[in-house]
Amino acid sequence: MVQSLRSISPIPLSSEGFAEFGDVLAFNSGDSEAKAINQGQCIRLNDLADLDFDPSGRMGVSLFHSTVYTLPHRFDLMERHPYGPQVFFPLDLGRLLIVVALDNKGIPIYPQCFISSELQGINIHRGVWHGVLTPVAGTGKVIVFDWIGGQNNLEEYTFKQPWQIEFTRLET
């Protein structure tokens, strides 16, 4: 039997579009909580992520250095983390391909793909299905803030048919 490819077109990351899956961290958000600190020399965009995590562990800071991917990109694996969210922010003006999906009784459905702009990061909410870290610009260096604890925090799902994310111009 021939395996057919299923295709996804990426769209630019925005707070509104991503709201069902997590938070967008960006400097141009017009956040009402922006406040001046340090005698007016610094703007603080305060508390941008919903960090709901299981109290059996804690949130920790890690650095990831990933392969940089090219489009079109094929994948068949998604994952989710039952114990906490995951914050990702590129450290080199890089850009991320972000695949997320809804859940139907333990199966990821309706995968969607976003592309971040420079100086955008994300918080993927606890338990939300997502693809692995997929930088498509920069050197693949990313700061991560996620749950660290004793339980297995990784659940994976492999699609029988792969998905393909189509080429797009990386417009900002």
**Chain Cα centroid distance, residue 151:** 22
Using CB under 8 A, which of 9, 58, 82, 172 touches a copy of itself? 58
Span near a copy of itself by CB under 8 A; candidates 14-22, 45-53, 104-112, 160-168: 45-53
- Pick 51 or 115: Cβ nearer a copy of itself: 51
Q: Which two tokens stand for residue 71?
A: 């489009």
Of residues 99, 68, 92, 82, the one with CA closest to residue 164: 99
Instruction: Give the total of residues touching a copy of itself (CB under 8 A).
Output: 44
Token pair, residue 37, equals 């600190």
Q: Please, is 119 exposed, middle or buried when counting C-beta atoms within 10 Å of its C-beta (0-12, 13-18, 19+)?
A: middle
Element containing residue 86 per DSSP (H, E): strand 86-90
Contact positions with a copy of itself (CB under 8 A) in 99-128: 119, 121, 123
- Choose which of 3, 4, 32, 41 interacts with a copy of itself (CB under 8 A): 41
Is 158 among the residues that bind a copy of itself (CB under 8 A)? Answer: no
Closest separation in Å from C-beta 105 to a copy of itself:
25
Q: Which is nearer to a copy of itself, 102 or 148 (CB)?
A: 148
- Which residue of 63, 74, 152, 161 would you call a contact of a copy of itself, by CB under 8 A? 63
Contact call for residues 158 and 111 (beta carbons, < 8 A): no
Q: Which of 8, 49, 98, 113 binds a copy of itself (CB under 8 A)?
A: 49
Q: Which is nearer to a copy of itself, 9 or 46 (CB)?
A: 46
Under a CB-based contact definition with an 8 Å cutoff, are residues 21 and 123 in contact? no
The two most distant CA atoms of the chain are separated, in Å, by: 67
Three-state DSSP class for 17? helix
Residues within the interface to a copy of itself (CB under 8 A) = 25-27, 37-39, 41-49, 51, 58-67, 77, 87, 89-93, 119, 121, 123, 132-133, 140-141, 143-145, 148
